[in-house]
A and B are shown apart, each in its own frame.
Chain A
Amino acid sequence: MIIRKEQNQDKVILAPEGRLDTVTAPELEKEIQALPAEVKDLTMDLEKLEYISSAGLRVLLATQKKMNATGGEMKVCRANETVLEIFEVTGFSDILTLV
């Protein structure tokens, strides 16, 4: 999967494209694990994300928890209808910062 990445000091934007499922979620997980610890402002730009499965949600959850623990912030933006609906159904919309 293509993951676009923009880094500006401690601000990072990650934009996964296509489908985030069992096959592709480990790629995003690797990308996030590789981020330096001083990153305190992470934005997930989901504009080009078509679909997210539970494996993808797991990565978002793990990242959110990691950011909470280190005092950072994770924002999720520009998710499409399908993805928003999945956030809604799974209750993720309550724990993610959707902007």
Chain B
Amino acid sequence: MTFHFTPSDLINVLFISGGIGICLLYFLLISASAHLRKEVRRYFQVFFSLILLYISAHLARQIMDGIPGAAVRTWLYIVTFLEIIAAGFMTHILALLVIVVCRLERKRSLSLVAVSYSILMIHVILLIVGWPLDLIYYFDAGNVYHRGAGYLLSNLCPLLLLLFNSILLLRHRERILPKIRLAFWIYMIAPIIAIIIQSFSSSIQYIIFASVGASVYMFAVIVQNQNDDYEKQKQENTRLDAELSMASRIQSSMLPSIFPPFPGREEFDIFASMDPAKEVGGDFFDFFLVDEDHLCMVMADVSGKGVPAALFMMASKIILANNAMMGKSPAQILTDTNASICSNNREEMFVTVWLGILEISTGKLTAANAGHEYPVLRHPDGAYELIRDKHGFVIGGMEGAKYKEYELTLEKGSKLFLYTDGVPEATDGAGEMFGPERMLAALNSAPDDAPRDILKTVRAAVDSFVKDAEQFDDLTMLCLEYKKAKGE
């Protein structure tokens, strides 16, 4: 087999082989593009495969055209069929790509996809039916390609799809970035211009050059756009991270953090800590002197986690403290706080609160509990035990909720331990919970330690229990040691 290349043949081969090379390269490039949206990537993979099929079939037809033989004849029919069918699929895929880029609502997208599919199916049926009838194309006795009587029909569906795409682009132009819109237009118009030029000098296949060039340009523009989006997203994430860590610092600075907090007050020793599971948390503790003789202590846990919980926590903490500073009783503080929070609580958030006021001079502790964990008390020389106190409903849960208070008496050396559910509900890798028993056991392992060391002991026990499991809930604890009554 020998080839006689005219200059225009040479140019055609250059276009086609260059086209095949570029398509293959781009196919690999698409697969490696990390920041492409998944469906866009899939469309481009199919798209470049189709162009490859199209120009390969075209090349094969050009090479075999006019070579006699029955086998060649069969192959000629097959590759011509593939070439024309690929052209139809390419415009269909373009329609799908435009629909994806427009980000229309689902129902509308689906109906548009259905229209495009229907046109494509007409194209396929025309080609299949036309094959035995030599309707679209045929090869004469010398295996030379000729257009059939119905050749124009083969252009009908691609043209219809082209029209469909133009309408889509015009109708939804405000949904597509100008740069991408331009690339789509170039892709659709370039082949038409190529066909017009070709009709003057039919020997050179400008159409291949135009389709490959325009597809590559379209791909480049979309990839660039998605990369820009990705960069923007990354910057946004960095900004959010910075804001979160600042929020975290603001939150922790809202809690008492200087220990000992009341230098010179020998009557009691207090220590507390909060470790949020995320940057910000919904747990909090608080303690402050209402007056010279009354110490108010709060332990609370907001429903949920993260930023929503943290916002709710800030509001709850301030409202509780304001109510307490007015000198109200614990039950009254909880009742009034509940009323304030319920008046503006569309998200149904709530907070569990244990609040106690210690009369420092006598050791009398008055407390109320709004759905919070049982406090733990140890009398001198005794063991740490749960106080199964009366529970009211969580704060923010129900308008008009009422709370009851109860009294305990702390003796010299009594210790009170408060915590949130993050402690008993710390979970190990097997899904087992730490539980109140293990917590009491940890407390009782060194009952005479100072509050700061007691918290360390409990924390160590939790850590060695959960081992490598991720900390799931905020971990917050407070311990008070009552040392002596005033004037003693």
Contacts and interface: CB of A to CB of B under 8 A. Distances in A.
Interface stretch (A6-14, A52-60, A69-77): A52-60
A22 B352 CA distance: 16
Contact of B350 (A22, A51, A58, A89): A58
A58 B393 contact: no
Given A58-B350, A89-B374, A90-B391, A95 B305 contact: no
Interface stretch (B206-214, B226-234, B296-304): B296-304
B473 A91 contact: no
Nearest to A54: B303
Given A53-B425, A53-B473, A58-B349, A89 B391 contact: yes
Contacts of B282: 54
A89 B371 contact: yes
B348 A58 contact: yes
Nearest to B392: A91
A54 B348 contact: no
B350 A61 contact: yes
Nearest to B473: A53
Given A22-B304, A91-B371, A54 B352 contact: yes
Contact of B393 (A53, A55, A65, A92): A92
B421 interface: yes
B78 interface: no
Contacts of B425: 51, 53
B348 A65 contact: yes
A89 B301 CA distance: 13
Given A55-B303, A89-B374, A95 B421 contact: no
B83 interface: no
Contact of A54 (B304, B306, B370, B398): B304
Interface residues of A, number: 20
Contact of A91 (B306, B393, B472): B393
A67 to B, nearest CB: 13
Given A89-B373, A90-B352, A90-B371, A95 B304 contact: no
B394 interface: yes
A31 interface: no
A97 to B, nearest CB: 14
A20 B306 CA distance: 17
A61 B374 CA distance: 21
A91 B302 contact: no
Contact of B305 (A55, A62, A91): A55
A12 to B, nearest CB: 20
B391 A62 contact: no
Interface string A25-57: 000000000000000000000000011011101
Contacts of A89: 371-374, 391
A54 B305 CA distance: 9
18 contacts: A22-B304, A51-B425, A53-B473, A54-B282, A54-B304, A57-B303, A57-B350, A57-B394, A58-B304, A58-B348, A61-B348, A61-B350, A88-B391, A89-B371, A90-B372, A91-B393, A91-B397, A94-B393
Interface of B: 282, 301-306, 348-350, 352, 370-374, 391-394, 397-398, 421, 425, 431, 433, 472-473
Interface of A: 21-22, 50-51, 53-55, 57-58, 61-62, 65, 82, 88-92, 94-95
